[in-house]
């Protein structure tokens, strides 16, 4: 009997010894390859447990991976040059229209992704108009529109940190040249107005739409070559006698792939669903895009 127990204990202890703590985390890939710009790094992170703090640094970085980056069938050597950051050994410019392939070997996993670099985009011009006087507007520090609450009048949604104030409306129209008409792919345009303000009336902005995502071919033509998009945002002021505070406005335009569009549209509710990933075997996004931003001063 004693021997039997000894064998069982031995097996048990051996079993304990044999079991290594298993890392169940997933790899998260992030890389945006911008047309005409140097090839970007590929950032590899790991998912983390819910109950722990999430550290963007070393604790969640995925180290020890091997990255194979191919642009138009040409391999580009990538090595880890920071904690979880893998970059090309030498600067290489992203070629518009080029096909992209990514392979990441991490442990016994092989992660793959494909994409394409769109034609470059540039903001040809931006026109900005500011309302003459401040007007009443809803001020809400957070917006959450729940259909159930909307059905029951949404009073709870409105009741959170809501107040009425005065706002200036700033309207901006962006113009860019559509150089994709000979391209077979459908490209998506993400346009954004980002005012550099301390406070933002988010409820008003929810309705004013300072950001949009649409198929490029559905954006209206301003003239034979240029397409345009108009957006607006609100700037709150304490009283009707106040001038609009001078502030910087970053105007951005991104031409992206369908994968990027799905990623952006799927990112709006991070507490209830994760954005769709175009990376096989991991989370994240690996995509080509074209981007242009400029910052103007509004006053």
Partner 1 sequence: MCVILQNRFLRKYCAGLCVAVAIVWAISSSTVRAQAIEIDAVSESLQKVLDTFTATQRVDLVYAERQVEGRLVTCNYVGTDIERALACILENQNLRAVRVRRRQYVLVDTSRDSIPNSTEDSIHMGALRGFVTDATSQEILPGAHVYLPELAIGAISNEGGYFAIPALPVGQYQVRASFLGYSLLDTLITISEESVMLALERGAVESEAIVVISDRRDPYEVSPGVREIPVDLISGFPGLPGEADLLQSLHWLPSVQRVRTNQGGLVVRGGEPDQIQYLIDGAPIYHMWHVGGLLSIYQPEVFKDVRLYRGSFPAEYGGRLSAVLDAELKDGTQEGITGLVGVGLFSARLFVEGPIGNEFSFMMSGRRSYLDRIIGRKHPVDDGVTRDTLRTGIYLYDVSAKLAWRPSLQHRLTLGVYGSADVLDIRLPINISRIGESGSILPLANWLRPSSLVVEFDTRWSNRLVSARYHYLYADRFFLSATAYATSYRAHERIFLRPVATSSISSKYAVDILDMGVKLDLDYYLSLTHHVEAGASIVLRSFSSELEALILQTNSISESTDEESNFDNTELVFHIQDTWKPTRRLQVQPGIRISRLLGGNDLRLSPRLGVRYALDRVILRAAAGVNVQYLHQVRDRYSVLYDLIAYRWVPASRSVKPSQSYHGSVGGDLSLGRYLTAGIAMYIQRTNGLLLPRDAEQTKDGLRGPGISLAAILGQYTRGEALAYGLEGSLQYERGANMVWVSYAAGRSRSRAPLLGEENLRPTRYDVPQRLEIVLQRNTRTWTYGLTGQWRSGYPITVPEARYAIGDPLAEEPQGFLYFPKINNGRLPPYVNYGLQGAYRFNAGFVSMQVSLEINNITFRRNIVRQTYTFEIPEPVSVMSTHGMPAYPLLELVARF
Q: Of 15 and 147, which CB lies nearer to partner 1 in the complex structure?
A: 147
**Smallest distance, Å, CB 105 to partner 1?**
20
Contact between 152 and partner 1 per CB under 8 A: yes
Q: What's the chain's length in residues?
A: 299
Contact between 128 and partner 1 per CB under 8 A: no
Q: Which of 35, 46, 86, 94 binds partner 1 (CB under 8 A)?
A: 46
Contact between 238 and partner 1 per CB under 8 A: no
Q: Total number of residues binding partner 1 (CB under 8 A)?
A: 79
Contact between 163 and partner 1 per CB under 8 A: yes
Question: What is the torsional sign of CA 73, 281, 119, 187?
Answer: positive
Q: Which of residues 65-124 bind partner 1 (CB under 8 A)?
A: none
Token digits for 37?
Answer: 């710009």
Taking residues 175 to 194 in sequence order and writing x for each that binds partner 1 by CB under 8 A, - otherwise, the string is: ---------------x-x-x
**Smallest distance, Å, CB 131 to partner 1?**
7
Contact between 35 and partner 1 per CB under 8 A: no
Contact between 230 and partner 1 per CB under 8 A: yes
* Cα–Cα distance for residue pair 231/213, rounded to 1 Å: 12
Q: Which of 68, 101, 124, 171 binds partner 1 (CB under 8 A)?
A: 171
- H/E stretch holding 251: strand 247-256
Each residue of 111-146: b (16+ CB within 10 Å) or e?
bebbbbbbbbbebeebeeeeeeebeebbbbeeeeee
Query: Alpha carbon 299 to chain centroid distance?
Result: 29
Q: Of 74 and 109, which CB lies nearer to partner 1 in the complex structure?
A: 109
Q: Are 295 and 252 in contact (CB under 8 A)?
A: no
**Smallest distance, Å, CB 3 to partner 1?**
44
* Cα–Cα distance for residue pair 276/284, rounded to 1 Å: 8
- H/E stretch holding 249: strand 247-256
Q: Are 35 and 290 in contact (CB under 8 A)?
A: yes
Question: What is the torsional sign of CA 60, 144, 253, 114?
Answer: positive
Q: Of 1 and 155, which CB lies nearer to partner 1 in the complex structure?
A: 155
Q: Which of 67, 98, 174, 285 binds partner 1 (CB under 8 A)?
A: 285
Q: Are 90 and 66 in contact (CB under 8 A)?
A: no
Q: Of 122 and 267, which CB lies nearer to partner 1 in the complex structure?
A: 267
**Smallest distance, Å, CB 30 to partner 1?**
5
């Amino acid at each position: 009997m004693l021997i039997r127990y000894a064998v069982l204990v031995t097996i048990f202890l051996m079993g304990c010894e044999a079991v290594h703590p298993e890392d169940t985390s997933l790899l998260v890939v992030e890389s945006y390859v911008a047309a005409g710009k140097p090839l970007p790094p590929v950032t590899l992170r790991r998912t983390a447990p819910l109950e722990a703090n999430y550290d963007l640094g070393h604790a969640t970085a995925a180290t020890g991976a091997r990255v194979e980056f191919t642009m138009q069938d040409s391999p580009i050597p990538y090595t880890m040059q920071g904690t979880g950051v893998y970059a090309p050994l030498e600067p290489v410019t992203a070629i518009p229209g080029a096909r992209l392939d990514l392979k990441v070997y991490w442990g016994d996993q092989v992660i793959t992704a494909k994409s394409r670099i769109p034609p470059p985009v540039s903001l040809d011009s931006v026109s900005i108009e500011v309302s003459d006087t401040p007007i009443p507007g809803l001020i809400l520090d957070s917006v959450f529109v729940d259909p159930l609450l909307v059905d029951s009048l949404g009073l709870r949604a409105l009741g959170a940190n809501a107040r009425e104030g005065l706002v200036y409306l700033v309207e901006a129209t962006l113009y860019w040249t559509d150089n994709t008409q000979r391209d077979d792919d459908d490209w998506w345009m993400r346009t954004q107005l980002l005012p550099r303000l301390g406070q933002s009336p988010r409820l008003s902005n929810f309705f004013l739409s300072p950001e949009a995502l649409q198929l490029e071919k559905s954006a209206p033509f301003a003239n034979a070559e240029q397409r345009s998009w108009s957006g607006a945002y609100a700037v709150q002021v304490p009283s009707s006698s106040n001038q609009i505070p001078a502030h910087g406005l970053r105007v951005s335009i991104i031409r992206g792939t369908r994968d990027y569009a799905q990623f952006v549209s799927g990112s709006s509710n991070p507490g209830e669903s994760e954005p769709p990933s175009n990376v096989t075997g991991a989370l994240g996004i690996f995509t080509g895009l074209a981007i242009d931003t400029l910052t103007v001063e509004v006053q």
